[in-house]
Structure 1
């Protein structure tokens, strides 16, 4: 069992290279500040601003908690640490999420499908089922590719498969950037799915950057094996945002966002209004003018790979498209020499057809 945000690595893997005691921080910080200090990626400027707040509380020794040293902080701290700029975005403030779930059974209960049509990303696809965990699944896929492609990593620990998709995904959503696992494991609570939504850039930033109290997400995942000799090489993690277009040249897998309009329908007497759905997928390659995408929400093997014409327009939300049309007289977005036709549910978007958002993300590991 484990709880998002409070889990220890050895609760759901056989490794214990990275030990955490995150519950201890909540004794010295208010609830929202604790979540932000633990899980919000920050830069050096933000760190210095937080340092000033922590020092006013005489709590600079808080960093020693990770070394299991509590006495200095207990004897020195004069007030609870509270960060005024703390965002509720990182705070899992819901009763459902304080309950343990059987993540140790994830591998046994995971639904997988093998698709030989994939060339760059793993052919073993993990089904996200009824969860909304498509973003961390896509990020885990990019990370596994980078480990193999950039670092030449081969998991030597075959008995435990410590760097499997399930182990990396579990670490991402239990330790690195906590989210409920409802719908993916044995927890049936569908209402928790609203606490699973991730913004791709926030998760990638967390993977590549430190928080005030924790290592980079990549360094935490790198330590899944307790033996340094069996881990991926020490390396830095960096993501890049790229713009898709008709002449885009593929170089490595990308995390992309798809949009589709599901028309109004009635099923078993229940009325389902027309709705736009967004789904994170992984671009495996471009072939014969088509994006070939790994899809982790599938009902059968045929839907594990989605193909989208590269010449198709891209989805953009309102009011961007209407403003663009008012300003230029059409729905063509121009970025230097790149021109992209933009559509959405109000502008020329065909129902029951996938379209990609124009921005995509790559992930690269560089050996130190």
Structure 2
């Protein structure tokens, strides 16, 4: 697995995995949250390298919530890429909660080695990012990028919104500092988005808000944010993200 190393990251690992042509951004982001929680919530020191990023990611994608690893090292088939897609809340549910037949995904990860972290429970929380949000721990965040009409290898593609799971490392100088695992010349491994930049909402809420107020600014007295989608106010070739984000916490029993 290829990584970009020694990056401007303070709470998470400074080495960011390149997901290449895979669609594994969700399990990669959740793996990042898990490793942070293992180290900081349980004060666990992985002296034998049994809980490396690669090992936890493999357990999540091969055992806990089976997905192909195609694309990390080899060119995947389209059906393999399609099968990799999942949503972050479903994966977090599987990690933190038991099923009828199986223990929790966290327990599967935790007990993979004889030198294991303390017995603990796993909890996730959904939060809403906004202009006044105060950072407390890393979050899994869904980025949204509006791709314009384009031609690639002689094929025309329509404009579309591309979604990508990233991990929030911190808020600094009014900017979200995010780990991006699908990097290129135009999309570096560390992306910064101003906290005051509008947030993406694909529902009719943005349209209703604009029709009622003549503006896209939402303020309920607690949450304050501007909202956009591809039909209203969203710029092309620019990163936004959804207000919904997720934290993961481990608690010793």
Structure-1-length-normalised TM-score = 0.66
Moved more, 328-337 or 139-148: 328-337
Residue equivalent to 1:213:
101
Question: Which consecutive unaligned segments of at least 5 residues does structure 2 have?
Answer: none
Q: CA RMSD in A?
A: 1.7
User: Structure 1 residue 301: deviation in Å?
Assistant: 11
Residue equivalent to 2:42:
151
Higher strand proportion (structure 1 or 2) = 2
Residue equivalent to 1:264:
149
Q: Which secondary structure state, in structure 2, belongs to the residue aligned with residue 256 of structure 1?
A: strand
C-alpha distance in 1 between matches for 2:240 and 2:76: 31
Q: Which secondary structure state, in structure 1, belongs to the residue aligned with residue 124 of structure 2?
A: strand
The answer (yes or no) to whether the contact 1:181–1:187 under 8 Å persists in 2 is no
Q: Which secondary structure state, in structure 2, belongs to the residue aligned with residue 240 of structure 1?
A: strand
Residue equivalent to 1:27:
none
Residue equivalent to 1:166:
54
User: Structure 1 residue 144: deviation in Å?
Assistant: 0.2
Higher helix proportion (structure 1 or 2) = 1
C-alpha distance in 2 between matches for 1:338 and 1:253: 20
Instruction: Show CA shifts across 1:259-294 (max 9, x none).
Output: 011111223322122111000000001111110000
Matches within 5 A, 1:212-291: 212-225=100-113, 227=114, 230-291=115-176
User: Structure 1 residue 221: deviation in Å?
Assistant: 0.2
C-alpha distance in 2 between matches for 1:270 and 1:187: 20
Out of 46, 49, 68, the residue aligned to residue 180 of structure 1 is: 68
Q: Tell me: CA distance 1:300–1:234, structure 2 relative to 1, closer, same or farther (3 Å).
A: farther
Moved more, 260-269 or 121-130: 260-269
Out of 13, 16, 29, the residue aligned to residue 122 of structure 1 is: 13
The answer (yes or no) to whether the contact 1:128–1:296 under 8 Å persists in 2 is yes
C-alpha distance in 1 between matches for 2:80 and 2:221: 43
Instruction: Show CA shifts across 1:329-364 (max 9, x none).
Output: 432334442122110110000111100100111111
1:194 aligns with 2:82: yes
Q: Which secondary structure state, in structure 1, belongs to the residue aligned with residue 13 of structure 2?
A: coil
The answer (yes or no) to whether the contact 1:281–1:295 under 8 Å persists in 2 is yes
User: Structure 1 residue 113: deviation in Å?
Assistant: 1.2
The answer (yes or no) to whether the contact 2:132–2:224 under 8 Å persists in 1 is no
C-alpha distance in 1 between matches for 2:69 and 2:127: 29
RCO higher in structure (CA 8 A, sep ≥6): 2
The answer (yes or no) to whether the contact 2:7–2:190 under 8 Å persists in 1 is no
Residue equivalent to 1:81:
none
Structure-2-length-normalised TM-score = 0.95
Instruction: Show CA shifts across 1:104-144 (max 9, x none).
Output: xxxxxx11111330010111111111111101000000000
C-alpha distance in 2 between matches for 1:332 and 1:300: 32
Instruction: Show CA shifts across 1:156-185 (max 9, x none).
Output: 21xxx2211111111111111111222124
Aligned length, in residue pairs: 253
C-alpha distance in 1 between matches for 2:77 and 2:230: 31
Q: Which secondary structure state, in structure 2, belongs to the residue aligned with residue 261 of structure 1?
A: strand
